[in-house]
Amino acid sequence: MKTIPILSSLLAAAVAASIGTTQAATLETERYSIEVNALVDGLANPWGMAFLPDSSLLITEKGGALKHVKLDGTTRTLTGVPEVVAVGQGGLLDVAIDPDFAENQLVYLSYSEADPAGGDGNSTAVARGELGDNGLENVEVIFRGAPKYNSRQHFGSRLVFSPEGHLYITLGDRGSRMQDAQTLDNHHGKVVRIWPDGGVPEDNPFVDTDGALPEIWSYGHRNVQGAALHPDSGELWTVEHGPKGGDEINIPEAGSNYGWPVVTYGVNYDNSIITRETHKDGTEQPFYYWVPSIATSNMMFYTGDAFPQWQGDLFVGALRGQQVARLDMEDGRIMHEEALLTDRVGRIRDIEQGPDGYIYVITDDRNGSLVQIKPAE
């Protein structure tokens, strides 16, 4: 086990590679003293992670590798991963296990997929396979984003199962195709809902709409890189990476339009105006938003026993913001935001609660880490 050195905020970005020294990191937060340990380093731009029933993890690396990682630091590379288009923001993205994993051993992967017909386009796809001794077996593609489009940007994605067993897949607008987020004839800028075998639920909101793709659950999104089920309501919550300003938390409802790019709280990265408007009839307001952006990645509701005063709170990882935002939730509202780990561990790509009630994050770096957060003794 390795631990993270305490770094000054000015130095942290430059010395990310020094994660893994043996200096202990105990940090003070508003409610807890926390111990921050890098359990594993040497991960190449890890993107998604999922705990298995035995408390080991599956971790994706953006370049296309799926790793099986134990909390004692043991790491091995699994076989059977579909070929990915590892360009720009694309590659091997999220990983999730089936709600009935103990019975069926099914693992789901989202990734950027080349056009099977040989064109130069790509899109987010989702495949599933059975986890065997060495990797995935009997792999099948259950979702292909349409259309294939030649872009290196905005693939989403997160995979979340609903309480009824649907699979939500969160997607991106593919950058230069952002206007597609407002039309229903494509998957750009959408959240989709399918069955785990790829079938379309008959109560999806647009199954009877002419010209609409039936997988669509909600639309008007930019790049939804985070998603979680609310532990009490069972609702899907998402967090999308905005332009410069305008990272949004949404609670996507069936058939609703979240406004991108017609309304936004952000501007383009070159400071040019996307729109001055923040409200428009027929579009939903975010539940919460950040200006300036912290560059959100994934989100997690905390339900464990290790940090009782954090129960029910929403944790959102940030890339450029190099932090975890803790949103203190009470009775459905956000009462307060606290920045955790700021500039201490680098760019946060994924965040999950472990079976032990500790919090785990992975860092987006060529020498990325799996980092454990537990109460300091």
Token pair for 217 = 């659950």
Q: 235 exposed, middle or buried (CB, 10 Å; 0-12, 13-18, 19+)? A: middle
154 assigned to active site: yes
Name the segment binding its own copies (CB under 8 A); options: 91-99, 106-114, 209-217, 279-287: 279-287
Helix (H) or strand (E) holding 111: strand 106-114
| Residue 235 within binding range of its own copies, rule CB under 8 A | no
Residue 289, beta-bridge partner list: 248
Q: 115 or 328, CB closer to its own copies? A: 328
Total interface residues for its own copies by CB under 8 A: 22
Q: 48 exposed, middle or buried (CB, 10 Å; 0-12, 13-18, 19+)? A: buried
Binding mask 284-323 for its own copies (x = CB under 8 A): -xxxxxxx-----------------x--------------
The DSSP string of 254-276 is TT-B--TTTS-S-B-TTS--S-S
Name the segment binding its own copies (CB under 8 A); options: 192-200, 253-261, 283-291, 345-353: 283-291
| Residue 334 within binding range of its own copies, rule CB under 8 A | yes
| Farthest CA pair distance, the chain | 61
| Residue 336 within binding range of its own copies, rule CB under 8 A | yes
| Residue 162 within binding range of its own copies, rule CB under 8 A | no
CB of 246 to its own copies, least distance (A): 10
For the beta carbon of residue 83, count every other beta carbon within 10 angstroms.
Answer: 10
Token pair for 149 = 């489009």
The C-alpha atoms of residue 313 and residue 334 are separated, in whole angstroms, by 9
Which one of 154, 166, 187, 221 is the catalytic residue? Answer: 154
| Residue 331 within binding range of its own copies, rule CB under 8 A | yes
**Which one of residues 119, 234, 335, 375 is an interface residue with its own copies (CB under 8 A)?**
335
**Which one of residues 9, 23, 30, 72 is an interface residue with its own copies (CB under 8 A)?**
30
Amino acid at 189: G
The C-alpha atoms of residue 146 and residue 277 are separated, in whole angstroms, by 29
Q: Which residues of the chain form contacts with its own copies (CB under 8 A)? A: 30-31, 245, 265, 278, 285-291, 309, 330-338
Q: Tell me the catalytic residues.
A: 154
